[in-house]
Amino acid sequence: MSSQRLATETIIISDETLISRRSLLSGTALMAAGSLLPSTAIGALGQQHQQQFRAITKSLWVSKTSLNQLPDVLTYAQRWNFKTLVYAIPPHELMNLTTVDSITAKQINKARRQDGFKFIVLSGDPHWAFDGNKIPKEVQNLLKVHRDTGGLFDGFQLNVEPHVLKAWRGSKRRQLAEGYYQLIKSIFRETKALKLPLSSTLYPSYARVAVPSLGSSILQSVVPYLNDVSISAYRNVPRRTFRVASLTLRQLSRTPVPWWLGVKTQNNRNANKTSYVNKSPEYFIESLSKIDTMAKATRARKHYAGIAIQHHKSVMRLTGN
């Protein structure tokens, strides 16, 4: 095959995600150069991989982490050029955020105003979908903190995911789909009143499962109430990620809603397929570069926001502090 033909060959990822080899040339050239570097130990990435990782627009999801560790999280985020933090604040620590003058609130505000971070608060439970008309207590408490501190958060991220429930695989799927839709609407009314952007994770099956009363998919039903979404198409091979996300991206391409593509780095039951936890740091970063390049070539590329990495403790082990 001639070099000219190679440069114009088209790679088909799925029926909805087409990427030309020409659009990949610059990215693959960098990856090829990086692959020639000697293998590096965790925390000792080569300069090429460090630059690749910093250059990617990405958010860092932080869970099961005390606010006492916020300075360490911010230091890591600053080093690797994360500009968005999605933080699950431990409920028992909300008392430390009751006023804008509290030590932790001052730390968050400094990070936002001086260092340019967006601080998004994260919460969710799949059981919330059983009663979508009710605002969960955890949500009420976080919104109260936002009010009492004069607008401490830059956004509210929901991670409800009713599909993980056993009931989803039985006769209650319809109830859960309706409840999830009503939940998004109910919380949206509260966040809109506070001028607080609302986001949610979206599992790929939500593009296939309908909200019966609306006659549209869950995704199409809830997107009008969201300021951005995070797609949970977790796979540790970039091409497979886009294959799983294909229908989701097709539906999102018809909307103006910004979207993030989720990446898992923690251990879980299906880690061999869904997580980068057991991959090398070099493979992880090269895969992120490929994902970023592919995302910018999809039909929904206009509103691509970046890669959402879950979660911070495991990615720190991959990249080093």
Q: State yes or no: pLDDT of 30 exceeds 70.
A: no
Predicted confidence (pLDDT) at residue 14 exceeds the cutoff of 90? no
Q: In this predicted model, which residue has the larger pLDDT, 185 or 24?
A: 185
Mean pLDDT of the chain: 88
Lowest mean pLDDT among 4-13, 78-87, 116-125, 129-138: 4-13
Percent of the chain past pLDDT 90, that is, above it, reads 83
How many Cβ atoms are within 10 Å of 165's Cβ, its own excluded? Answer: 16
The neighbouring-strand residues paired with 226 are none
Average the pLDDT over 222-233 and give the result.
98
DSSP class per residue in 22-72: HHHHHHHHHHHHHHTSPP--TT---HHHHHHHHHS-EEEEE-S--GGGHHH
Share above pLDDT 70 across residues of the chain, in percent, rounded to a whole number: 86
- Whether the pLDDT of residue 25 is over 80: the answer is no
pLDDT band, very low/low/confident/very high, at 32 (cuts 50, 70, 90): very low
Predicted pLDDT of residue 317: 92
pLDDT value, residue 321? 75
- Cα 315 → chain centroid: 14
The tens digit of pLDDT for each residue in 282-308 reads 999 999 999 999 999 999 999 999 999
The alpha carbon of residue 155 and the mean position of all alpha carbons in its chain are separated, in whole angstroms, by: 13
- How many whole angstroms separate alpha carbon 294 and alpha carbon 296? 5
Domains of the chain: 3-319 (3.20.20.70)
E strand residue ranges, 117-197: 118-123, 155-158
Greater pLDDT, 25 or 189: 189
